[in-house]
């Protein structure tokens, strides 16, 4: 079993599924509200666990009623939460998400306790593979990467400035097209691999600016894209540290991301290993919700 650590955010997602997404300054009525555990760190930890990893999550929650709800699926999924601290002075992080019938979304995050996570809450050394994102304070993320002893996957999302040292240390950087445009050529400053996701069009992997591989996802009926990118990150990290080649790892991750878009919510939508392997083996032209 693949052992890895995720250092990242933990949120509770409040999801409003509406007839359409609002324009600036507009109110859209007729939405249905749901609550789901979320946060990029938590999502990626659970994604990796459901795909066969033995996962420990390091993060921070508030001392409030939302905390247990935010951790519920992680506990059920067997993620080690012994590294999750409680901040008595801040609320658990919340993401406010609007989703339209095609699965497109808009997200506003109130970081809460995530924003207060400091360097002294990190282990002195992170053994084994590590996944990080940018929903914690950047100095904390950069310190975590600097303390990593093994493979590092850096999901540079949401896009914001990071040090050249982080980029050079990362063995794998994952960004979407918008984030790739934000960072530009700086993404390729190190010798690690860079994956750019392109939604329903798939993903491409580069090294030192040269394309190594590309893959497209299976066709699915998208319900909610929330969590699809996190499913991809967890999947490609598991695939690469298991020794899959670039093309196989991209295909595995694209399938995981596509399946995550077939159900509502971030963590409830994350597929299991059998789900991913089944759709890859079948090559089905169309798939709805996974089981």
Q: What is the pLDDT of residues 55-102, one digit of tens each?
A: 999 999 999 999 999 999 999 999 999 999 999 999 999 989 898 988
Q: What is the pLDDT of residues 182-231, one digit of tens each?
A: 999 999 988 899 999 998 899 999 999 899 999 999 888 888 777 899 99
CB under 8 Å to 278, separation ≥6 — which residues? none
Which residues are identified as catalytic?
Answer: 230
d(CA 253, CA 232) in angstroms, rounded, equals 5
Phi, psi values for residue 138, rounded to 5°: -60, -40
- Of 283, 286, 255, 5, which Cα lies nearest the Cα of 128? 5
Domain ranges within the chain, ordered by starting residue: 2-10+39-89+113-282
The per-residue pLDDT for 104 is: 84
> What is the tens place of the pLDDT at every residue in 88-146?
999 999 989 898 988 788 889 899 999 999 999 999 999 999 999 999 999 999 999 99
Can you identify the CATH homologous superfamily of domain 2-10+39-89+113-282? Ribokinase (3.40.1190.20)
Share of the chain above pLDDT 70, in %: 96
Question: What order of strands is seen across the sheet that includes strand 105-110?
Answer: 32-38, 11-17, 93-99, 105-110
Beta-bridge partner residues of 105: 99
pTM tops 0.95, yes or no: no
Binned at pLDDT 50, 70 and 90, residue 287 comes out as very low
Query: Residue 150 pLDDT more than 70?
Result: yes
For residue 250, what are the contacts with CB-CB under 8 A and spacing of at least 6?
195, 202, 203, 204, 205, 213, 214, 215, 236
What size, in residues, is the chain? 291
How many Cα atoms are found within 13 Å in the side-chain-facing hemisphere of 27? 1
Is the per-residue pLDDT at 26 higher than 80? yes
């Amino acid at each position: 079993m693949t052992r890895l650590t995720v250092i990242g955010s933990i949120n509770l997602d409040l999801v409003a599924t509406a007839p359409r997404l609002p324009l600036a300054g507009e109110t859209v009525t007729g939405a249905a509200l749901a609550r789901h555990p979320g946060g990029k760190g938590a999502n990626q930890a659970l994604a990796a666990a459901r795909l066969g990893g033995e996962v420990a999550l390091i993060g921070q929650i508030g001392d409030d009623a939302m905390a247990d709800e935010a951790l519920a699926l992680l506990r059920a999924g067997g993620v080690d939460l012994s590294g999750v601290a409680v901040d008595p002075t801040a609320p658990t992080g919340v993401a406010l998400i609007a989703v339209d019938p095609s699965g497109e979304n808009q997200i506003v995050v109130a970081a809460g306790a995530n924003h207060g996570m400091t360097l002294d809450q990190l282990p002195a050394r992170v053994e084994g593979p590590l996944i990080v994102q940018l929903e914690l304070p950047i100095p904390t993320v950069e310190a975590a990467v600097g303390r990593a002893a093994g493979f590092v996957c850096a999901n540079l999302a949401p896009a914001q400035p990071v040090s050249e040292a982080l980029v050079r240390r990362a063995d794998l950087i994952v960004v979407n097209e918008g984030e790739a445009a934000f960072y530009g050529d700086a993404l390729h400053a190190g010798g690690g691999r860079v994956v750019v996701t392109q939604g329903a069009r798939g993903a491409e992997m580069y090294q030192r600016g040269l394309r190594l591989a590309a893959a497209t996802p299976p066709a699915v009926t998208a319900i909610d894209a929330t969590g699809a990118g996190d499913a991809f990150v967890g999947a490609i990290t598991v695939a690469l540290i298991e020794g899959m080649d670039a093309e196989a790892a991209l295909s595995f991750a694209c399938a995981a991301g596509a399946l995550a878009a077939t159900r509502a919510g971030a963590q409830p939508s994350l597929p299991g290993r059998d789900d991913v392997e089944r759709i890859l083996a079948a090559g089905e032209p169309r798939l709805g919700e996974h089981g």
